[in-house]
Amino acid sequence: MKKKRVLVTGGAGFLGSHLCERLLKLGNYVICTDNLFTGSEDNIRHLFHHPHFEFLCHDVISPLSVECDQIYNLACPASPRWYQKDPVYTMKTSFLGALNVLELARTTGARVLQASTSEVYGDPDCSPQPESYRGCVSAVGPRACYDEGKRAAETLFFDYRRQYGLDIKVIRIFNTYGPRMSMDDGRVVSNFIVQALKGEDITIYGSGAQSRSFCYVDDLVAGMNALMNSPGDFTGPVNIGNPEEISIKELAETVIRLTGSQSRLAFKELPVDDPRQRRPDIALAKRELGWSPVVRLEEGLKLTIDYFKRLINC
């Protein structure tokens, strides 16, 4: 088989770096681009000497010209702490980034995958959330730069398919965790693990009754790759996530138990527009991709805890 040239935007981020690894193991030539706004060279440094890996420091809001067969568009700040830090830039990354990779796909004939998000469902009125659910999203709240940015990107992808016949795929990613999460990204899993390992209070916003479903990064990347290589008439959007639901309070208690920490729970006011529930309906992924997650939450948390232990030397 001819080796594919695969472009991964946002490839130095948490998800992107794991995807680059998997693509290389599958025998592809990988071109990783990232402006390092939230990504880090540390995530991909071990790939620098790989003969089929290339890193380009580039911001996806500017056009890029490279020869490629497939494009994974992962470039965008994904945690509230970072995407709310510069909301205008977040919107520009979502929309202009999508526009630029779609134009590149038009030029090269590449298949292009958009990494969308479960945040397009907003604070849902149903659980679990199927792809047919249109969402309950505030267009003017502090999370809108990300939520609406991703919704606009999905619209652009499907308009490019209708108008230009582009070969597109759209994945909606639910909460994902694992090694290489940043210590300071403000995501709940990394927050809880770091606080527990340092013996600090575990910060819970609201009562902790709100629920999430957490997917280990290896499972997520496998689902993303399965969608990219699925038949061309299946575009998605398709949910990729773990349907096992857990409350935030239960997650905190599990992290405390697994780390052997003496940390206590500290409750603070719930942020504006924070979803009450997040759980994927993955029936479509099972049927069309033959995909479902295999890593259980405690197993994945142990692997993630081990990573953070090495990172903070404890």
Contact status, residue 26 vs residue 51, Cβ threshold 8 Å: no
Residues facing residue 212 across a β-bridge? 246
Annotated active-site residue 83? The verdict is no
**Cβ neighbours around 135 below 10 Å, total:** 15
DSSP state of 12: T
Residue 180, CA distances (Å) to 161, 183, 184, 224 in order? 34, 9, 11, 18
Q: Give the whole-angstrom CA distance, residue 16 versus residue 137.
A: 26
Residues facing residue 265 across a β-bridge? 202
**Cβ neighbours around 14 below 10 Å, total:** 26
Instruction: Point out the catalytic residue in the list 146, 160, 177, 216.
Output: 146
In this structure, the strands spanning 238-240 and 168-173 are parallel
Take residue 237 and report the two structure tokens written for it. Answer: 């959007």
Kindly report the backbone phi and psi dihedral angles of residue 260, in degrees, each rounded to the nearest multiple of 5, phi listed first.
70, 30
H-helix or E-strand containing 283?
helix 283-289
> Beta-strand (E) ranges in 201-288?
202-205, 211-213, 215-216, 238-240, 245-247, 265-268
Q: Give the whole-angstrom CA distance, residue 304 versus residue 218.
A: 12
Q: Which residues are catalytic?
A: 146
